[in-house]
Amino acid sequence: MKQSLIIALDFPDLIQTERFLSQFPSEKLAVKVGMELFYQNGPAIISYVKEQGHDVFLDLKLHDIPNTVKMAMTGLATLGADMVNVHAAGGQKMMEAAMEGLDKGTSAGKKRPLCIGVTQLTSTSQEQMNVEQNIAGSLEDSVLHYAKLTQQAGLDGVVCSTHEVKNIHERIGLEFLTVTPGIRSAGGQTHDQKRIATPEQARDFGADAIVVGRAITGAKDPLKAYLDMKAAWEGISC
C-alpha cells in the first residue's frame, strides 16, 4: 500500500459503507477499516470491501500480552487485509509475536499482510504525552524511539504524523514505511487531531502513505474531494 491515499471508512454499518463506495465505480481504492466498522460488522466487512476490488488497511491497533496478540494476528491473517497494525507501546516482544502470528496465519503462496506499529496518535499533543503518559522529552524523540523498536521487531513500518517522517527515514531508512493520518486540505477542520498536515506537506516530508477520513467521507461530493486530495498528494495540478 505504499504511495497510497487511504480513505478511512469511519462508518458504523455496511449500508453506509456500500453507499459511500458506490460513488467510486471506476476507482481502485485503498481504504482503512477501523474499530467502529469492524467491531460492528465483523470479518464480513473485509470480505465485502475486497470483493469490490479495493485494498484494505485493517486498523485495530492490537495491544496485549505477546501470546494474545500472536493468536489474534494468526486469525487476522486469514481475512485478506493488505495491512494491519499494533501499538508499538506493547513492546518488542509483543510486536515480534504479532509477526509470528501473521506468518503462521498466512496461507502458503499468499502474501503476508504488511504490519506497522502505531507510535504516538496524531491526536496526542506534546503536553498530553508529558503529563498524561508521563513520558519526558519531545514527541519527535518518542516517535523515533517507537519507530526503532518497531524496526527491530521486524515490522514493515509505522503510523506517525507527517512531522516525524523525515527523521524516521533519515535514522532508519527510506524502505521503512511511514503511514500518516491527520491529513486535511488547507483550511480544513482539524476535528480531534493535533498534529496535522496537508497532502502536499505529507508528500514534501516524504510520507509513504496518507490516511484521509472526514475530509473525504464528510464532503458533499466525496469523489471530487478524493480526486482533489489524490492530485495534491501526487503533485498533479488540477
Q: What amino acid positions are annotated as catalytic residues?
A: 59, 61, 64
Cβ contact 172:147 at 8 Å: yes
Cell of 22: 458506490
Provide the annotated binding site for substrate.
10, 32, 59-68, 122, 184, 193, 213-214
The helix or strand, by DSSP H or E, that contains position 29, with its residue range, turns out to be none
SS3 (DSSP) at 50: helix
Provide the annotated binding site.
10, 32, 59-68, 122, 184, 193, 213-214
Q: How far apart (Å, rounded) are the C-alpha atoms in residues 143 and 88?
A: 10
Exposure pattern of 98-137 as b/e (b: 16+ CB <10 Å)? bbbbbeebbeeeeeebbbbbbbbbbbbeeeebeeeeebee
